[in-house]
Amino acid sequence: MRRTGAALSIAALAAGLAACGGGGSYATVIEKVQGDNKIVVGTKWDQPSLGLKKGANPEGYDVDMAKAIVKELAGGKDVEIEWKEAPSKNREALLANGTVDIIFATYSITDERKTKVTFGGPYVLAHQDTMVRADDATITKATDLENKRICQAAGSNSYKRITDPPPDGKLGLPAKLVGASNYSECVQKLSGSNLDAVTTDDLILAGFAKQAGGNFKILGDPFTDEKYGIGLKKGDVKTCEAVNKAVAKLYQDGTAQKIWTTWFGDAKGLTAPTAPPPAEGCA
């Protein structure tokens, strides 16, 4: 029997979403979770309070949100999670090639990324801010970054919010970009006076500032909304819809708020979320 184009498309999607390392193949991640009771989750491994690998597995806000949401996908059952590192520059590739099933990694939802990834959530709203050395009195607000040395972390769009005008950017300021492989390296360069500032999401900065023990300060001058999404392979709408229901439930029963307080409750200048941000829709 000759297959139609639609049938071929369905077959291709099912093949593309085959289970990673599980006992069978599934068309969607939620089917894999419920069928094999296993999942491969990508997180950051170098971001304090969000995703930081200190032992066998990472720990942090994104990690705990991943655990809670995966458990909801499994109907309340515990799930065997294999953790994989998901650096900013590799996130789309890790989903596309099936190395990971789902990503929780400070993954801001953008229109450009939506062309490659199906996003669940967002599960929290961050805001881009700026971190400088504690003794720097020359930079007090984001617009002071004009002609300053700022970090360009591989795979991150944060620097564009400074250097590009709307709609893709925000401030349209000339700045000197200093490359780094990730935000850990950005912070090292800032500590060594090879940078004037690190500008990215306030949750990321809060984790590094806490780890540094007073060597840095965050300006408290947020100028964007960053919608942290849950990355899925493009086309996995079924899992996306289930993820959105899980996010809503975690806020309704207070779990999401407890996780946020665990990791950011003592951070200055951050406002605890009381409800999930509006879902983006599963495109």
Helix axes 29-36, 237-252, angle to 10 degrees: 70
In the chain, domain spans? 9-125+227-264, 128-218
CATH superfamily of 128-218: Periplasmic binding protein-like II (3.40.190.10)
| pLDDT value for 24 | 60
pLDDT in tens, the chain (283 residues): 344 444 434 444 444 444 444 446 889 999 999 999 999 999 999 999 999 998 999 999 999 999 999 999 999 999 999 999 999 999 999 999 999 999 999 999 999 999 999 999 999 999 999 999 999 999 999 999 999 999 999 989 899 999 999 887 899 999 999 999 999 999 999 999 999 999 999 999 999 999 988 899 999 999 999 999 999 999 999 999 999 999 999 999 999 999 999 999 988 778 899 999 999 989 7
Contact between 182 and 153 (Cβ < 8 Å):
yes
The beta-carbon contacts of 195-198 under 8 Å, at least 24 apart in sequence, are 195/149, 195/150, 195/151, 196/132, 196/136, 196/139, 196/145, 196/148, 196/149, 196/150, 197/130, 197/131, 197/132, 197/139, 197/145, 197/148, 197/149, 197/150, 197/151, 198/130, 198/131, 198/132, 198/150, 198/151
Partnered with residue 59 across adjacent β-strands are 52
* pLDDT score, position 141: 96
Asked if the domains at 9-125+227-264 and 128-218 fall in one CATH topology, the answer is yes
Q: How far is residue 232's CA from residue 229's CA, in Å, rounded to a whole number?
A: 9
DSSP string covering 168-217: T-SS----EEEEESSHHHHHHHHHTTS-SBEEEEHHHHHHHHHHHTSSEE
CATH architecture of 9-125+227-264: 3-Layer(aba) Sandwich (3.40)
Question: Which stretch of DSSP H or E encloses residue 231?
Answer: strand 226-233
Distance, in Å, from the CA atom of 38 to the CA atom of 23, rounded to the nearest integer, reads: 9
Residue among 31, 32, 54 nearest 44 (CA):
54
Strand 58-59 to 51-53 pairing:
antiparallel
What's the CA gap between 42 and 10, in Å, rounded?
Answer: 26
Assigned token pair, 255: 């779990």
pLDDT of residue 283: 73
Backbone angle region of 193, left / alpha / beta, with phi > 0 → left and psi within -120 to 50 → alpha: left
- Residue 263 DSSP SS3: helix
Quote the pLDDT of residue 254. 97
* pLDDT at 150 (0 to 100): 98
Inter-residue long-range contacts of 50-57, CB under 8 Å, 24+ positions, other chains counted: 50/106, 50/203, 50/204, 50/207, 50/263, 51/104, 51/105, 51/106, 52/207, 53/83, 53/85, 57/83
Residue with tokens 């617009």: 143
Give the whole-angstrom CA distance, residue 224 versus residue 142.
Answer: 11
Question: What pLDDT shows up at residue 7?
Answer: 41
Please tell me the distance from the alpha carbon of residue 66 to that of residue 105, in angstroms, as a whole number.
10
How is the beta sheet containing 58-59 ordered, strand by strand? 46-47, 51-53, 58-59
